[in-house]
């Protein structure tokens, strides 16, 4: 089960790679955050559906739940990267994403109940700022 979990996480991570140049190009071409996130999450979503179903069949609902939670965390990380790449150059954006991911992990550890609220607040704030960047070519 551990091997399966690690394998699933690694596969999920490779399916959620985010290319900053593509995010910026799609922003210049007039795509909003949602479309860019959907574009990047397509592979991951299909994988997650199959992985969760397979885990349920082979290892039971607990394993499927863990895979689902891991997948959602990876999708959240991908979402943060897309939103931050719309706002900042790659180097600073990666730094900011690592700070935000660290903050979310801290919240998950100390106040798990508050995690969805904090995550939503961060995503909403980044999305709001990113909306002004659509089409922009500075």
Partner 1 sequence: MNFAIELTGATVERSGQRVMQDVALAVLPGSWFGLIGANGSGKTSLLRALAGRLPFASGSCRIDGEELADDRAARAMRFGFSPPADKLPDALRGRDVLEHVGGSINDVRPRLGKLHEALGLAPLLDRWIGDCSAGMRQRVAVAAAFAGGHAQVILDEPFNWLDPVAIFDLREVLREMVDNGLTLITALHDLGTLASACDTGLMLADGRVALALGDDALRIAAQNPQAFERQTIDRLRRD
11, 13, 28, 101: which one binds partner 1 (CB under 8 A): 28
| C-alpha span between 70 and 76 (Å, rounded) | 10
20 versus 115: smaller Cβ distance to partner 1: 20
Contacts of 33 (CB under 8 A, 6+ apart): 82, 83, 86, 127, 130, 131
- Locate 76 and state its tokens: 């959240």
**Nearest CB to partner 1, comparing residues 36 and 115:** 36
Q: What is the maximum alpha-carbon separation in the chain?
A: 52
| Contact string (CB under 8 A) for partner 1, positions 31-50, x = contact | x-------------------
Q: Which of 22, 87, 107, 118 binds partner 1 (CB under 8 A)?
A: 22
């Amino acid at each position: 089960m551990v091997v399966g979990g690690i394998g699933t996480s690694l596969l999920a991570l490779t399916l959620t790679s985010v290319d900053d140049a593509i995010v910026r190009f799609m922003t210049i071409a007039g795509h909003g955050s949602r479309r860019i996130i959907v574009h990047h999450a397509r592979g991951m979503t299909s994988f997650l559906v199959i992985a969760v179903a397979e885990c349920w069949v082979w290892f039971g609902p607990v394993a499927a739940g863990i895979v689902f939670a891991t997948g959602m965390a990876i999708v959240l990380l991908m979402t943060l990267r897309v939103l931050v790449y719309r706002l900042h150059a790659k180097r600073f954006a990666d730094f900011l994403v690592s700070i935000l991911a660290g903050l979310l992990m801290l919240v998950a550890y100390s106040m798990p109940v508050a995690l969805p609220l904090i995550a939503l607040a961060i995503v909403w704030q980044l999305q709001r700022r990113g909306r002004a960047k659509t089409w922009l070519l500075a």
